[in-house]
Amino acid sequence: MATNKRKYKGSLTLGKLEIALEAHEQLFGEVTALEAIGEYTVATYDDEDYPAEASLALLPMIGDSAPPTPDGATHLFDGEALALGQKMKISAFRTM
Partner 1 sequence: MRQIIFAVFCMVALSGCAAVRGSQATSAALKSPSPISIPDAMKAYSSPDPASRENMSRFDYREYVITIRMDAIDQEYDSFTDQLNAGQRGAGLGFDLLLLGLSGATALANPSSVEELAVATTVATGARASVDKHVFFDRAVPALVAIMDAERAEIKTAIARKRGLPVEQYSLGSAIDDLNTLRRAGKIESAVGRLTQAAQAQKAQQEALLADIKGVCDNITARTGALNLRFRKLVRDDVPAKEASRARLAATELGLSFADDQTVGFADVRDAFDDQLCDDNKKEQFLDSLEATIATTEGT
Minimum CB separation of residue 72 from partner 1 in Å reads 20
Q: Where are the beta strands (DSSP E) in the chain?
A: 3-9, 30-37, 40-46, 56-60, 74-83, 86-94
Minimum CB separation of residue 33 from partner 1 in Å reads 12
Residue 38 touching partner 1 (CB under 8 A)? yes
Residue 7 touching partner 1 (CB under 8 A)? yes
- Asked whether the beta carbons of 26 and 56 are under 8 A apart, the reply is no
Residue 19 touching partner 1 (CB under 8 A)? yes
Count of CB atoms situated within 10 Å of the CB of 71: 6
87 three-class SS: strand
84 vs 76: CA distance, rounded Å: 23
Residue 20 touching partner 1 (CB under 8 A)? yes
Among 31, 34, 42, 83, binds partner 1 (CB under 8 A): 42
Q: Which positions touch partner 1 (CB under 8 A)?
A: 2, 5-9, 16, 19-20, 22-28, 37-38, 40, 42, 47, 50, 53-54, 87
